[in-house]
Amino acid sequence: MSRVALVTGGSRGIGAAISAALKNAGYKVAANYAGNDEAAAAFTKETGIPTYKWNVADYEASKAGIAKVEADLGPIEVVVANAGITRDAPFHKMSPEQWQQVIDTNLTGVFNTVHPVWPGMRERKFGRVIVISSVNGQKGQFAQVNYAATKAGDIGIVRSLAQEGARAGITANAVCPGYIATEMVMAVPEKVRESIIAQIPAGRLGEPEEIARCVAFLASDDAQFINGSTISANGAQFFG
Ligand code: CAA
């Protein structure tokens, strides 16, 4: 029987590519989204993947949404915490609201997504937790104190979960995408984006599918001994 996978933020950007890659690999996929009904409907029409609306920043909403997915499709064995936002501003201009929104969605959102599925994974002695971090969690980024804090936090989360889950057959890993051609990166002012691309040795942005393939590998049975790790897919945008 095919496994059930949940992808948060799974109807757009990198998340949409992950949802599609997991479906192609034979999983029953549920794609969560927060607000863009039109994009979610178009995504379902194109891929046949059902979408479920809730805000990952809200614990009770996450719990209820996950219960609905499990009632519809079965127990979630692969969870991909991908939903994320940016509220970029230089630190001296960053408001407490910009800080809190990013923490609530990107970091607390990971807790809210994984916590409800964790007991079932422990009982069934199998689970895959994959968190989408970022190169900017590894190196920091101008105007992203909030975002970089959450993405660095993701690495601490998976290293800790890995230690707790290892004997229960659960792995927890992070993927750190570099700059990928999505709406999020396209929202960066063009001049800034050009200067960023100039710093990528590959000389280009990544494609969402290049991240999705990393996730599909980490989700597979073959990846059982990879636990607490980070896969960087960034076109060699390394940092010193
Ligand atoms: N390094 C050094 N200096 C920088 C800089 C950088 N990367 N980016 C901007 N600056 C400088 C500018 O040159 C400017 O300097 P001057 O004042 O001397 O001219 C100053 O910082 C900008 O000041 P502003 O008051 O104009 O800034 P602003 O309030 O208008 O904010 C910004 C502009 C939000 C910083 C904008 O430049 C921006 O969005 N930058 C991109 C940040 C970024 O890379 N975000 C990543 C988004 S994609 C993502 O997050 C996905 C992922 O995981 C990779």
Interatomic CA distance for residues 164 and 156, integer angstroms = 13
How wide is the angle at C-alpha 214 spanned by C-alphas 175 and 160, nearest 5°?
A: 35
What's residue 205's pLDDT? 96
Question: Which residues have a Cβ under 8 Å from the Cβ of 14 and sit 6 or more positions away?
Answer: 82, 132, 177, 180, 182, 208, 211, 212
What's residue 49's pLDDT? 98
Pocket of ligand 1 (CB under 6 A): 86, 88-90, 93, 134-136, 141-144, 147, 179, 184-185, 188-189, 192
Going by alpha carbons, the residue nearest to atom 48 of ligand 1 is 185
Query: How far, in Å, from the CA of 191 to the mean position of ligand 1?
Result: 10
Residue-by-residue DSSP string for 9-70:
TTTSHHHHHHHHHHHHTT-EEEEEESS-HHHHHHHHHHH---EEE--TT-HHHHHHHHHHHH
Structure tokens at 23: 């479906």
* Per-domain boundaries in the chain: 4-226
Task: Please identify, by atom number, the ligand 1 atom nearest to the C-alpha of residue 188.
Answer: 39
Task: Please identify, by atom number, the ligand 1 atom nearest to the C-alpha of residue 89.
Answer: 34
**What Rg do the C-alpha atoms of the chain give, in angstroms?**
17
Average pLDDT across the chain, whole number: 97
Closest CA to 148 of 58, 101, 86: 86
Residue 203: pLDDT over 80: yes
What's residue 85's pLDDT? 97
Confidence of residue 192 (pLDDT cuts 50, 70, 90): very high
Residue 147 appears among annotated catalytic residues: yes
Q: Which among 27, 33, 147, 179 is annotated as catalytic?
A: 147
What's residue 240's pLDDT? 60
How does pLDDT run across 149-176, given as a tens digit for each residue? Answer: 999 999 999 999 999 999 999 999 999 9
Closest CA to 52 of 106, 9, 81, 103: 9
Residue 121: pLDDT over 90: yes
CATH architecture of 4-226: 3-Layer(aba) Sandwich (3.40)
What's residue 194's pLDDT? 95
Query: How far, in Å, from the CA of 233 to the mean position of ligand 1?
Result: 23
What's residue 50's pLDDT? 98
Least confident of 37-41, 44-48, 122-126, 236-240: 236-240
Residue 131: pLDDT over 90: yes
What's residue 238's pLDDT? 85
Going by alpha carbons, the residue nearest to atom 41 of ligand 1 is 188
Query: How far, in Å, from the CA of 143 to the mean position of ligand 1?
Result: 6
Going by alpha carbons, the residue nearest to atom 11 of ligand 1 is 142
Query: How far, in Å, from the CA of 67 to the mean position of ligand 1?
Result: 40
Residue 91: pLDDT over 80: yes
